[in-house]
């Protein structure tokens, strides 16, 4: 089923445009929808020893915080909502392919795999694609698209994408 969707390139969910190399601390940038409307803002903050990005909706309300956790065996980012950790993103240690594990607190864990560095990968839960990341949808240089399957938690998926981009 996933192959047909890509062949016809018809979106089956919400599609957003991200900026490549977005993760300079202190940088802010807008995530736009496929109509070019500002949908979410990523606010890059330097907070003492760890890097933090705050994902805000178009009205400026915080919907997620993405914080680097440095003092562990491998680098990881925690995605927090309302003071609680909603998910943790970390690079998987197996194999040579780019793989990331996403531990979700109140739900099934996810994984990201594919060509992470070139922004051509998928995020899956239980073998089902929940988001597809690709540079093919937008012709804007240094940007890539994130298509979130309908019914999924858009802010969480976008926050996971920001975390993966910074860990890659």
Domain coordinates in residue numbering, the chain: 13-167
Q: What is the CATH number of domain 13-167?
A: 2.40.160.200
- pLDDT, residue 75, reads 77
pLDDT digits (tens, 9 = 90+) for 114-168: 988 889 999 999 999 999 999 887 777 778 999 999 999 999 999 999 899 888 7
Residue 48's region, left for phi above 0, alpha for psi from -120 to 50, else beta, is left
19-33, 34-48, 59-73, 96-110: the lowest-pLDDT one: 19-33
Calpha distance 93→55 (Å, rounded): 28
Q: Could you tell me which of 165, 121, 134 has the C-alpha nearest to residue 11? A: 134
pLDDT tens digit sequence for 46-100: 544 457 888 999 999 999 998 887 666 567 899 999 889 999 999 876 655 668 9
DSSP codes joined into one string, 90-131:
EE--SSSSEEEEEEETTS--EEEEEETTTTEEEEEETTEEEE
Residue 68 confidence (pLDDT): 82
pLDDT exceeds cutoff 90 at 39: yes
């Amino acid at each position: 089923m996933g192959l047909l969707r890509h062949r016809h390139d018809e979106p089956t969910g919400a599609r957003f445009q991200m900026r490549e190399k977005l993760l300079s601390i202190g940088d802010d940038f807008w995530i736009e929808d496929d109509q070019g409307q500002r949908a979410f803002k990523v606010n890059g903050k330097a907070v003492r020893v760890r890097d933090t990005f705050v994902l805000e909706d178009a009205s400026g309300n915080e919907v997620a915080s993405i914080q680097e956790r440095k003092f562990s065996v491998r680098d990881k980012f925690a995605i927090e909502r309302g003071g609680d950790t909603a998910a943790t993103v970390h690079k998987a240690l197996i194999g040579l392919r780019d793989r990331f594990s996403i531990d979700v607190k109140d739900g099934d864990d996810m994984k990201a795999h594919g060509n992470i560095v070139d922004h051509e990968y998928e995020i899956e839960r239980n073998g089902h694609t929940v988001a597809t990341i690709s540079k093919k949808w937008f012709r804007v240089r240094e940007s890539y698209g994130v298509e979130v399957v309908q019914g999924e938690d858009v802010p969480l998926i976008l926050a996971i994408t920001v975390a993966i981009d910074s860990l890659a």
